[in-house]
Amino acid sequence: MAEPSIRRRVLVTGASSGIGEAFARQYATQGCDVVLVARNSEQLERVAADVRRTGAKAEIIVADLSSRDGVEIVGERCGNVDVLVANAGVTHAAAVGTTNRDTLDRIAYLMSAGVVRLCEIIVPRMLERGGGDVVIVSSIASFTPMRKAGPYAAAKSHATAYARSLAMEVGHKGVRVVAVCPGYVRTELHGRAGLDHLARKVPSWMWLTSEQVVHATMRALRRGKTVLVPGAVYRIVLPFLSSSLAQGAWRRLTRRS
């Protein structure tokens, strides 16, 4: 009699839209079961229903990952997972001194300290079971200053730095780690932050789709890359992004008019 196949379980945070939703769909089509995390239960149910049509199991955990309790709940409820996609995030643009303390704390926890905590809960379980994959969705903001987005850039730099160290620590023990650092991706991120003008002003060749990010990530995992900047355009401009010329051009390009 054939052995029952063991399906991999994939935990995706921020799975209710955008890049996280694309990861959930991709892993489901690869024959994995998924655990979907976000705050919006209706959106999670929508994604879960679509995923189940592929034959995959889809569980949902409604949690606010900008709070310590939210991350602990996910760690308790998710059980053993073979893949962690730590993707949940927001973007935030505001002049220095104009963001209240609570918002600053939540941005930092959601995209840096909370990501670290989730990995600290889940990676030891992966090590005990002999392996796993960790995908940390960071940003190109890890590598370049971002005017009026210091807290975002700082959180993403932290997440990327953690991923690089984690990869060094656990890579030879069967846990592959990649920090994914995209530029502009067409999702709900900017609209939610009141930055709709970017969709009009940033040229179309600078935008990736969520699916492009996901496929580049799968390739990076296969190749053992630790830091991925998806999109050839971004890889070419990366060394020059911090120059005053590039920063000036970027500022003019993305200014509200």
From the CB of 126, what's the least distance to ligand NAP, in Å?
Answer: 21
Q: How many residues bind ligand NAP (CB under 6 A)?
A: 30
230 binds ligand NAP (CB under 6 A): no
Nearest C-alpha neighbor of 82 from the set 135, 15, 21: 135
Among positions 11, 20, 60, 116, the unique one binding ligand NAP when judged by CB under 6 A: 20
Question: Of the two residues 166 and 181, which places its CB atom closer to ligand NAP in the complex?
Answer: 181
User: Do 21 and 15 form a contact (C-beta atoms < 8 A)?
Assistant: yes
Enter the tokens of residue 226. Answer: 């630790």
SS in 3 state form for the chain? CCCCCCCCEEEEECCCCHHHHHHHHHHHHCCCEEEEEECCHHHHHHHHHHHHCCCCCEEEEECCCCCHHHHHHHHHHCCCCCEEEECCCCCCCCCCCCCCHHHHHHHHHHHHHHHHHHHHHHHHHHHHHCCEEEEEECCHHHCCCCCCCHHHHHHHHHHHHHHHHHHHHHHHHCEEEEEECCCEECCCHHHHCCCCHHHHHCCHHHEECHHHHHHHHHHHHHHCCCEECCCHHHHHHHHHCCCHHHHHHHHHHHCCC
Indicate whether 40 belongs to the interface with ligand NAP (CB under 6 A). Answer: yes
**Binds ligand NAP by CB under 6 A, chosen from 9, 10, 11, 14:** 14
Is there a catalytic annotation at residue 152? yes
Distance of closest approach, residue 111 Cβ to ligand NAP, in angstroms: 6
> Based on CB atoms, which residue is closest to ligand NAP, 176 or 190?
190
Told to check if 144 binds ligand NAP by CB under 6 A, we report: no
> Exactly one of 9, 17, 177, 234 binds ligand NAP (CB under 6 A); which one?
17
Residue 195, interface with ligand NAP (CB under 6 A)?
Answer: no
CB 118 within 8 A of CB 137: no
- Asked if 43 touches ligand NAP (CB under 6 A), the answer is yes
**206 lies in the site for ligand NAP, by CB under 6 A:** no
Other beta carbons within 10 Å of 148:
14
Q: Measured from the CB of residue 105, what is the shortest distance to ligand NAP in angstroms? A: 12
The whole-angstrom separation of Cα 47 and Cα 50 is 5
Q: Which is nearer to ligand NAP, 38 or 177 (CB)?
A: 38
| Contacts (CB under 6 A) with ligand NAP, residues 171-190 | 182, 184-185, 187-189
- When the beta carbons of 38 and 116 are compared against ligand NAP, the nearer one is 38
Q: Indicate whether 157 belongs to the interface with ligand NAP (CB under 6 A).
A: no
Q: Is there binding between residue 160 and ligand NAP (CB under 6 A)?
A: no
Q: Which range of residues in 39-47, 125-133, 226-234, 247-255 is near ligand NAP by CB under 6 A?
A: 39-47
Positions touching ligand NAP (CB under 6 A) are: 14-20, 38-40, 43, 64-66, 87-91, 110-111, 137, 139, 182, 184-185, 187-189, 192
